[in-house]
Amino acid sequence: MFQKMERKMYRKIIYPTFLLLLALLLFSNMNSRIIIAGIAIFLVGMVFMDDGFKLFSGGVLEKILEKSTNTLTKSIATGFAVTSIVQSSSLITVIVISFVGAGLMSLSSAIGVVFGANIGTTTTAWIVSAFGVKVHIAHFAMPMLIFGVVFRFNANKTYQGLGNVLVGLGFIFLGIDYMKDGFDSLKEGLDLSQYAVHGFLGAILFVGIGIVATVIIQSSSATVAIIITALATGQIGYLNGLELAIGANIGTTVTALLGSMTSNANGKRLAIAHLIFNIITGVVALVLILQLAHVVDMLAAKIGIARDDYAMKLALFHTIFNVLGVLIVAPFTKRLVRYLEGLFKEEEAEIVRAKYLDEIVVSVPEAALSALKKEVMHLYDNSTEGFAHALSLHRHKFYGRCDIPDIVATSTQKIDTNIDDIYNKKIKALYGDIIHFTTIAQQSMPDSESQTKAFKLKNTAKNIVEAFKDVKEIQKNIEKYAKSKNQYLKNEYNFIRAEIAKTLDTIFSLQNNSDDLEVVSKLELLKEEIKRLDIINNGRIDNLIRENKIDTNMATSLINDSSYAYDITKRLIRVANILWISDEMIQNMGEIA
Amino acid sequence: MKMKKLIKKISDFFDTLETDKKGEIEEKEGALQEKLEKKIASKRHKLRNCKDKYAKKELQKEIQVLKKLAANFENKIAAREDV
């Protein structure tokens, strides 16, 4: 309700006001127009870089993040390294949130990556200060844009990704150049540095401006680039620049916070961890700003940064205070995880919904596929209770047993379960979530290979649901004929129950088997076994009718129900083939695939 | 001239990536065939040492299935190579 009101207010008041102010600013001053155009071009560059890395890495980025984050130190180092390369802590944070949501990464590892990403993102400041404001950077932008566009037209996805990265870098460089030109010209008419505010009030004011600017621009890298260009052209004072950078660091958490609103508990936990880290870091940096500035002066002199090169000094300050933040907060990661786990608890709903799918996971193909697979497994797990109870069986009685036909023969008591209720509470909404998620996820999947995988998983979910509906159809007759006085009919229905139970049992036994060949061969054997349910083709029904063992009514019921059972078991084998065989080549080996 | 060479180098680099991918699939197929053979051999070994009648029957069935899978796989590869 509150979120709805906020959204309405944003749409009706804040956004139009922002547009109006922006238009006024653009038309009132030529220089501000150039600066704002520079920011816009810079942001377009960031978007292209993001898209490019998603295409270009082909899942490499995700694999690195998944494999090299098993300890906190490794997580921090990995977060730092990948963010330095990709130049976008937001992209890394989104991937990490999706990984935690998909269960591919622990919360403490994810927090480590976010810490590292905060240090990694300071490399933007180094690039802008060491390179962007010192040379005519637009010269480099042009060839990048040209080659980038040429590559973008290539059919190959890798070329397209590289093209996007080049176009992105080109726009970033061009944006910086525009900002620099804008601030240079602005200085001739208006000197912003005369508005410098010193002391505590100045600190609060400039930190606030840094926060607001970053919230509006939605990129701390862009804010830092503006600060550095303004600093390099002498438009703002050094200390005020440092305060703005602190503000930008806090402001950047708003992007993650907004993104996490629709996320699951893990997404929210990570966004709050990000906020806590950046606020602590910001407060420490603000309190120790003079001491840190002194440390920066000392270090700058040692590494050869000129006394008056404030742009590079700001980059150094940016790195130092983020490293300091990691050193202060990292030792408390475990405590932070415990606190966050207590703060956001997974809700136990009466109607089961998706556990692993959310709006953040959907944007990262690798994580989306993994989350989807887990969710379909979740759907299968939810359905097994219904399958067993519809057969008047309890899973714990026949799982892992080799005498399933005997167990079936002795279990004739009807189980008081409403299969429709199970369907409505545990299957229907969850299946709906899977379909919705897959449809959206497929749009952001760069290659047909990922799209096919997503399609197969969607189809697997459909097979589970269809099988469940089929079991509902045979439940009534099973209950009726399992107690029939006609021994032949009773045996046939017990045979149907046993075959479905054997299928469920075999799948259960294969769920933790990592030997794909073993799994596929067991499923192929099962496939041979269930052919016995095809009573028309194997002639069993003819014998029963011919020898007057069952009447015609019984025969039609038996034919229908055997056919349902055959379909159920075939569908379940297909489900197991996709869910519990990870090697695609092996998946496609069997005839059932 | 230098630019032409650079473009060619980049193009060659991506071509190598594509060729590598093809080779990678062939390598994977080879490894899988080998794995299948090993699996069949290990099942046969188990069968020789097996005394239980029921388990023996199951192992025989499994060997048959694995043989069928291996043959199917070989046919699939051959069919693709023909294309």
Q: What is the distance between the alpha carbons of residues A82 and A87, in angstroms, rounded to a whole number?
A: 8
Residue A590 per-residue DSSP state: S
Residue A345 per-residue DSSP state: P
CB < 8 Å to B69, chain A: 520-521, 524, 589-590
Contacts of A289 (CB under 8 A, 6+ apart): A203, A239, A242, A243, A246
Residue A29 per-residue DSSP state: -
- When mean pLDDT is compared over A17-26, A227-236, A262-271, A513-522, the highest value belongs to A513-522
Task: Tell me whether residues B72 and A586 touch, CB distance under 8 A.
Answer: no
pLDDT, average across residues A257-285: 81
The alpha-carbon gap from A590 to the nearest alpha carbon of chain B, in Å, equals 6
pLDDT, average across residues B17-30: 74
| Mean pLDDT over each residue of chain B, to the nearest integer | 80
CA distances from A158 to A92, A152, A261, A355, A368 (A): 20, 9, 33, 33, 20
The alpha-carbon gap from A413 to the nearest alpha carbon of chain B, in Å, equals 31
Q: What is the distance between the alpha carbons of residues A444 and A454, in angstroms, rounded to a whole number?
A: 11
Angle between helix axes A157-189 and A138-152 (nearest 10 degrees) is 150
CB < 8 Å to A589, chain B: 69, 72-73
Q: What is the per-residue pLDDT for A593?
A: 42
- Predicted TM-score (pTM) of the model is 0.62
- What pLDDT, in 10s, does the model give residues A355-377? 888 777 787 788 888 889 999 99
Closest chain A residue to the Cα of B28, Cα to Cα: A585
Banded model confidence at residue A9, pLDDT cuts 50, 70, 90: low
Q: What is the distance between the alpha carbons of residues A350 and A348, in angstroms, rounded to a whole number?
A: 7
| Mean pLDDT over each residue of chain A, to the nearest integer | 83
Confirm if A540 and A499 have CB atoms less than 8 A apart: no
Task: Tell me whether residues A520 and B62 touch, CB distance under 8 A.
Answer: no
Task: Tell me whether residues B32 and A520 touch, CB distance under 8 A.
Answer: no
pLDDT, average across residues A507-531: 90
Task: Tell me whether residues A158 and B14 touch, CB distance under 8 A.
Answer: yes
Residue of B28, B62, B72 with shortest CB distance to A589 = B72
pLDDT, average across residues A561-583: 93
Task: Tell me whether residues A585 and B66 touch, CB distance under 8 A.
Answer: no
Confirm if A175 and A39 have CB atoms less than 8 A apart: yes
Residue with tokens 């136990």: A348
Confirm if A304 and A141 have CB atoms less than 8 A apart: no
**Residue A8 tokens, joined:** 């309405």
Residue of B18, B32, B61 with shortest CB distance to A585 = B32
**Residue A110 tokens, joined:** 């994810």
Residue A357: name the closest of A463, A269, A266, A465 by CA: A266
ipTM: 0.75
- What pLDDT, in 10s, does the model give residues A458-479? 999 999 999 999 998 898 888 8
Residue A446 per-residue DSSP state: -
CB < 8 Å to A524, chain B: 65, 68-69
CB < 8 Å to B66, chain A: 517, 521
| A-to-B residue pairs, Cβ atoms closer than 8 angstroms | 37
Percentage of residues in chain A having pLDDT higher than 90: 16
Task: Tell me whether residues A528 and B65 touch, CB distance under 8 A.
Answer: yes
- What pLDDT, in 10s, does the model give residues A383-441? 998 999 999 898 988 898 888 999 988 887 788 778 888 898 889 999 999 999 999 88
**Residue A247 tokens, joined:** 């503000």
Residue of A158, A520, A583 with shortest CB distance to B69 = A520
Confirm if A370 and A579 have CB atoms less than 8 A apart: no
Query: Measured between CB atoms, does A525 come within 8 Å of chain B?
Result: yes
